[in-house]
Structure 1
């Protein structure tokens, strides 16, 4: 009799868990393309690359309704290289994202490995290439993307205004400033206009110096044309400051879309290094989930600057890059 009671209780528990779990979704991106690079120190390079426009990935996300306007959720996202099958992000199991979240009327709090507010502003507002292809703004702008051991709070949106703050624990005994990350953004998004002011700072391993990046980015839509602009002031660990400026556009052309951008990077060192990137691209949808793409980017380095044309997942080796490939979203 006891076995039957325990079985009934177990079935009831499983049923309750199944009902409480609102949704679990498996999703991903499969992206592969031909990448031609010119101007590298070791010579020209041709390869089939993964994650040219968007990093190839497989992810799991879920959301549970807790009642009273509260919900719990999670994201576990693995990056992989479709050309070889190897794991991305240095072999991390969930190297793209891994976090748990509680959200409600007062906003959302999440903990784990997450995208920094500065990166989200660059990707979602500033860059017409959405930090992908040969036009990736991170070829010249601040290249970091994620913060480990982080806590993030995103406010509700009110009349188009919202804020996003993040703290990344350095997890070093005796000094909480060592390896610490602090970031945030304030944004306005209403109708055709989007504006965001973002900042990110990271202390070094000794807490004796830090990098610092502050960016103002904007986007404006008029029918099928979207204009993009951004300006960033930066400081590296040696205290050298630099400036990045971006102008870009995306234009609907039938079912497809043309992309173009120009980026100017200047530093204030004694050498006055300077790099300029110009890029164009075209996306042609074959369906809602699949598109063909092509892109071309070129960087001119001056006075010892050494930037390369990369893609969404590759930093690149040359000063000229050409992409041609296919991307499927599932």
Structure 2
């Protein structure tokens, strides 16, 4: 359910014969439940969690057919906490997404605050939990989700191949490299198989150092079961290197039920060897096309001072064990 807004511009590329000259859609997610955490420095936590499976949001998507096969799309998306009503993303009005996109036969060109190609690969292809619940792959993998001040180009699909390139302007006076962000992905999809390669590079505020992540992902559908595998090589701004590996599956069961599980291994290549392993299991039950109940369990074993936490789609978490019980409605 979380994937329906991330590919909005890409969707426009393949739906140019749009029904009306222009349209406006109001959409969103209301997600809440019970969150239990153990293993945090301040002790156990029990609370009402918002956005555990998919971050709660309210969005507006508009589309206008400009003729000649060209479509203009805009997205304005706000994040909120359903338990308190407070705005997320540090109170930004449209802190989740704010973009304009022109799409046509040559592809899609967008500008604004957008999801990164690296995140879209992790969310849409690699992670059985779609970066939500206690099994969230971003508990361990790089957690850069969106970047401001970006220009992005997505090619049309050609023979199963699609490329996605994004440039984030640092907007620092005197040096365009400061806070600059670069990301790209290339994917191939044929039948049951999806292969995707993603890379990102982030400059620091002084342009004196950068971090980078490269990830290779494979997904294969075996009937009602989908297998997921991903491997990432990371280097932070201090030059420390690590590897992340994910194996998991999603199984579509009878009665609208779905089972998902994953194992993630983090290997620290530095002398400290701050390794970590995460195991997670989740299940959802569809009450309707738009509403489901879900439950998830995740546990991280940290070694040699590693400090990874079990979070959710909207919360980075504070403990090494998390349990989620909730309901999600998509409108």
Separation in 1 of the partners of 2:65 and 2:179? 36
Separation in 2 of the partners of 1:288 and 1:71? 28
SS of 1:121's partner is helix
CA deviation profile, 1:61-112 (whole Å, cap 9, x unmatched): 0111011110111000000000000001110100100000100000000000
Do structure 1's residue 94 and structure 2's residue 94 form an aligned pair? yes
Match in the other structure for 2:286: 285
Structural mapping, 1:139-158, within 5 Å: 139-158=139-158
For residue 144 of structure 1, report the CA deviation from its aligned partner: 1.0
CA deviation profile, 1:8-35 (whole Å, cap 9, x unmatched): xxxxxxxxxxx98521100000000100
Normalising by structure 1, we get a TM-score of: 0.94
SS of 1:309's partner is coil
Q: Which runs of 5+ in 2 are unaligned?
A: 1-18
Match in the other structure for 1:327: 328
CA deviation profile, 1:210-251 (whole Å, cap 9, x unmatched): 010000011100110000000000000100000000000011
SS of 2:122's partner is helix
Separation in 2 of the partners of 1:212 and 1:312? 23
Do structure 1's residue 196 and structure 2's residue 171 form an aligned pair? no
Larger Rg: 1
For residue 267 of structure 1, report the CA deviation from its aligned partner: 1.1
Do structure 1's residue 227 and structure 2's residue 248 form an aligned pair? no
Moved more, 21-30 or 198-207: 21-30
Separation in 2 of the partners of 1:262 and 1:167? 32
SS of 1:55's partner is coil
Separation in 2 of the partners of 1:166 and 1:327? 31
Separation in 2 of the partners of 1:317 and 1:20? 47
Q: Aligned-residue CA RMSD in angstroms?
A: 1.0
Structural mapping, 1:175-324, within 5 Å: 175-254=175-254, 255-324=256-325
SS of 2:138's partner is helix
Runs of 4+ in 1 over 6 A off after TM superposition: none
Match in the other structure for 1:120: 120
SS of 2:133's partner is coil
For residue 191 of structure 1, report the CA deviation from its aligned partner: 1.4
Q: Which runs of 5+ in 1 are unaligned?
A: 1-18
SS of 1:179's partner is coil
Moved more, 197-206 or 185-194: 185-194
For residue 208 of structure 1, report the CA deviation from its aligned partner: 0.4
For residue 269 of structure 1, report the CA deviation from its aligned partner: 1.2
Normalising by structure 2, we get a TM-score of: 0.93
SS of 2:90's partner is helix
Match in the other structure for 1:7: none
